[in-house]
Amino acid sequence: MARRSGLGAGVVAIPDSTATHVVRAALRGKRFRVGDYVLQGLLLLTLLIALGVLVVLLGSVAVHGVPVLKQRGTTFLTTTNSTFPFLAGVKQGIIGSLELLVIVLIFAVPLGVGAAVYLEEYAKDTRLNRLLVTNVRNLAGVPSIVYGILGLIIFAEFLKPLTGGLTVISGGLTLAVVVLPILIITSSEALRAVPNSIREAGFGVGATRWEVIRSHVLPSAAPGIFTGTILTLARALGETAPLLLVGALLGFFSPGNLGFWGQLRGPYTSLPTLIFSWSTQPNPEFRNLTAAAIIVLMAVLLTVNAAAIVLRNRYERKW
């Protein structure tokens, strides 16, 4: 191929020199590298497997569960558990899970956000404070069933006068302790994301540390803290193991006519506990029930997750 020389009026074709040929060939290289594409394909495959699992899972749950919901409709949500699959509903599970969530909210959020504020805004880099951070990280890795033991001994036994023993209050406190480390970590990250220049500006006009935190840091970090809280709550919603040690019941129980406060100090269960209980039942009818209950649980979870993502995108601000 010849070069074109654009000199003025005429376009003269100048034959390529050998040097040009050599350079061009070298630059082209080997266009088709098998190894590269194979790797990319393999990697994409792993991602697709993950996606595929999700699809199959949701699919099988839908196949088994949707007929039940179609057949039973909202009564599924409003009837209590039973040994007979045709009579069993998730009402007690839903009530229990909601009560647990509220208790977790009340206890875990102030403690978690408060600890994060201390670690990020107040703490100097001392040994004690580094110990605090390490401790939180270690707590985040403790298996949730171990927290169940804490719940059993401390909340259900030691604090029995306050909690009433193996009640939903003890269960809620246990779950609060389970999610506390994660809440601290996500809140810390949200606080860390607030640019330091904002704090300096506040100090520069003579504000105290709390005034800077209250008026500027917390409002800026609020969206991040909020989404972190929601995701943590979603995680708490799905937890089962610790509750098994703190009294969540697997079978049918009647709360009796104790009224709201009395019922709080009585037996309880949660939606995931019901799912666990039903999935271990030999009666094959319960398999469909389990699937239906899973649909209810997943519906709640997906809504919560979606809400968190939407809110995060809406409030994510650029400085």
Partner 1 sequence: MAQVELSTSARLTAADLAGNAHRRRKERAIRVAFLSAAGFSILVSGLIVLSLAGKAVQFLTLIHPSQLLAGGWFPRQESFGMATLVAGTLIVSLIAMVVGTPLGLGAAIYLSEYARPRVRRIFKPILETLAGIPSVVMGFFTLNIISPRLVQFLFSGAYLFNLMAAGIGVGILITPLIASVAEDSMFAVPGTLREAAYGLGAKKRVTSLRVVFPAAISGIVAALILGISRAIGETMVVAIAAGATGNSLFTMNPLNYGQTMTTAMSSLAIGSDAVGGGKAVFASLFFVGLVLFALTLLLNVGANRFVRRVRRRY
Partner 2 sequence: MSESGEDMDAPTVTRSDPAERSIHLERAARERPTELPDDAEVVFEIKDLGVSYSGVRAVENVSLNVYENQITALIGPSGCGKTTVLRCLNRMNDLIDGARVEGTLRYHGVDLYEAGIDPVEVRRRIGMVFQKPNPFPKSIYDNIAFGPRIAGFKGNMDDVVERSLTRAALWDEVKGKLKTSATALSGGQQQRLCIARCIAVQPDVILMDEPCASLDPIATLKIEELMYELVSDYTIVIVTHNMQQAARISDRTAFFTVGIKDGGHRVGTVVEYDLTDHIFTNPKDPRTEDYVTGRFG
Enumerate residues 113-142 that contact partner 2 by CB under 8 A. 124-125
Instruction: With contacts defined by CB under 8 A, name the span among 78-86, 190-198, 217-225, 237-245 that binds partner 1.
Output: 237-245
Q: How far is the CB of 209 from partner 2 (least distance, A)?
A: 9
- CB closer to partner 2 out of 105 and 207: 207
Residue from 84, 122, 203, 315 in contact with partner 1 (CB under 8 A): 122
Q: Which residues pair with 268 in a beta bridge?
A: 248
Give the span between the Cα atoms of 312 and 192, in whole angstroms. Answer: 16
70 vs 209 by CB, closer to partner 1: 209
| CA separation for the pair 95, 92 (Å, rounded) | 5
Residue 258 engages partner 1 in binding (rule: CB under 8 A): no
Q: Are 121 and 220 in contact (CB under 8 A)?
A: no
Q: Does 12 bind partner 1 (CB under 8 A)?
A: no
Residues 24-83 that bind partner 1 (CB under 8 A): 33, 35-36, 39-40, 42-47, 49-51, 53-54, 56-57, 60-61, 64
Query: Is the Cα dihedral 184, 189, 192, 193 positive or negative?
Result: negative
Query: Where does 6-62 show beta strands of DSSP type E?
Result: 12-14
- Report, in Å, the least distance between residue 127 CB and partner 2: 13
Host H or E run for residue 3: strand 3-5
Based on CB atoms, which residue is closest to partner 2, 36 or 125?
125
171 lies in the site for partner 1, by CB under 8 A: no
Q: Please report, for residues 24, 127, 228, 276, the alpha-carbon distance to residue 250 in angstroms, rounded to integers and kept in the order given.
A: 74, 46, 31, 8
Both tokens assigned to 40: 């990319």
Residue from the set 97, 163, 220, 229 that interacts with partner 2 by CB under 8 A: 220
Residue type, 106: I
Q: Is 314 an interacting residue with respect to partner 2 (CB under 8 A)?
A: no
Which CB atom, from 196 or from 257, has the smaller least distance to partner 2?
Answer: 196
- Applying CB under 8 A, does 32 fall inside the site for partner 2? no
Following DSSP, what letter does each residue of 200-234 receive, concatenated? Answer: HHHHHTT--HHHHIIIIIHHHHHHHHHHHHHHHHH
